[in-house]
């Protein structure tokens, strides 16, 4: 694929950082922690907490 076409395509991230997740859900950091206590799925990679975008969407639809 030519380089220009590759640069024009926007790749949707499937893994969100903690900050990206709270921006995606439009809630505060504190609310993310509360939602995690209520079962919001998250994963640890090293010392970082990450969220799968599809898990966030599925969780929203179910709650």
The answer for residues whose C-beta is within 8 angstroms of residue 60's C-beta and 6 or more apart is 25
DSSP per-residue letters across 1-63: --HHHHHHSPPPPSEEEHHHHHHHHT--HHHHHHHHHTT---EEETTEEEEEHHHHHHHHHH-
Tally of structural domains, the chain: 1
Q: Model confidence over 20-57: pLDDT tens digits?
A: 999 999 999 999 999 999 999 999 999 999 999 999 99
Query: Domain range holding 23?
Result: 15-41
Residue 41 and residue 23: Cα distance in Å, rounded? 16
Query: Residue 28 domain-assigned?
Result: yes
pLDDT attached to residue 23: 95
Query: Residue 8 domain-assigned?
Result: no
pLDDT attached to residue 12: 76
Token pair in block for residue 11: 């790749």
The reported pTM is 0.76
Q: What is the mean pLDDT of residues 2-12?
A: 64
Q: Does residue 6 have a pLDDT over 70?
A: no
pLDDT attached to residue 13: 79
Query: Residue 9 domain-assigned?
Result: no
């Amino acid at each position: 694929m030519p380089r220009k076409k590759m640069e024009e395509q926007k790749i949707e991230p499937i893994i969100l950082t903690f900050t990206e997740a709270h921006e995606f859900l439009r809630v505060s950091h504190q609310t993310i922690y509360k939602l995690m206590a209520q079962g919001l799925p998250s994963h640890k990679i090293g010392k970082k907490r990450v969220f799968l975008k599809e898990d966030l969407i599925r969780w929203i639809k179910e709650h």
